[in-house]
Amino acid sequence: MLKELCRGGKSGRVMKLVIDSIEQAVNDAATQFSQTLRDIQELFMVTLTHDLRGPLNVIKMGIHLSLRRLEQGDTHVNIAAKMLKAVERLNSMIQNLLDASRLRTGQSLKFEFEECSLDSLVRDVVEDLSFAYGDRFVLVSDAAIKSNCSRKEIQRVIENLAINAVKYGAPDTPITLTLQEIETQISLTIHNEGNPISLDAQSILFQQFRRTISARDRTGWGLGLFLAKSIIEAHQGTIEVESVEGKGTSFIVKLPKLPY
């Protein structure tokens, strides 16, 4: 019926104009609704993460104070240390969720770049992780390796990869962090022993909210490697994985180095 009216001279042209206007209005309304929905989701995510962080920070400060007052050898020291690790893990998960939400809405992560001494940064991370996970970490590093980076975010990437090595690698085996300069790049390799990651699993490792079968019984959002890749790419670098039966798993981060 509408098609017949549209063919009917002047009245048909008017009817076509009305139909086109209705279609445009529907499209505009759908676009506006989608944008409003995204805005609501973003506001919810920001509010949720902000509200969660308040009590977590109070707990974290309380644990730090308790650790200062407890003597080494006291059984409560180990309990407090485990509580602190759990709080830091929750805080990291919240930050990952917030950053993923920003990326999904088309925003970019904000970094403060500066000249970083990467060998010093990796050494600090290893010392902190050794306190939480024991003396499993082996650091092999060239001296005086510098890059232009966000120290906080690169530290976050290193911690994420090293903790993954603890979680998914063979227990009680060394986790080796190798930092070196290769021509115009800096290479950081984090290696663990254990079962290899299948090729199918490797294909989704860096996707958000995607988890391999071996990771499904572990805590986390499935965002760590996705965000690590986003952070490294923002530094004009690359991250890749090599995992072979009998040789363990290596995550290899490459960053540009500062010119001399």
The 8-class DSSP code of residue 71 comes to P
Task: Quote the CATH superfamily of domain 114-256.
Answer: Histidine kinase-like ATPase, C-terminal domain (3.30.565.10)
Q: Is 173 helix (H, G, I), strand (E, B) or coil?
A: coil
54-90 pLDDT tens trace: 666 667 777 767 766 666 556 666 666 667 766 776 7
Q: Which two tokens stand for residue 184?
A: 């115009």
Q: Which CATH number fits domain 11-104: 1.10.287, 1.25.40, 1.10.10, 3.10.450?
A: 1.10.287
Q: Which residues pair with 190 in a beta bridge?
A: 177, 251
Residue among 95, 85, 102 at smallest CA distance from 53: 95
User: At residue 252, what are phi and psi to the nearest 5 degrees?
Assistant: -115, 115
Mean pLDDT of the chain: 76
Rounded to whole angstroms, the Cα distance separating 200 from 126 reads: 31
* Residue whose token pair is 């076509």: 16
DSSP H helices, 70-115, are 75-104
Predicted confidence at residue 226, as pLDDT, reads: 83
Q: What is the domain partition of the chain in residue ranges?
A: 11-104, 114-256
**Is the CB of residue 82 less than 8 Å from the CB of residue 115?**
no
189-212 pLDDT tens trace: 999 999 888 888 887 887 754 554
More confident residue, 229 or 66: 229
Residues ≥6 apart with Cβ < 8 Å to 103:
109, 208, 230
12-23 pLDDT tens trace: 666 667 666 777
Q: Is 2 helix (H, G, I), strand (E, B) or coil?
A: helix
Rounded to whole angstroms, the Cα distance separating 239 from 231 reads: 10
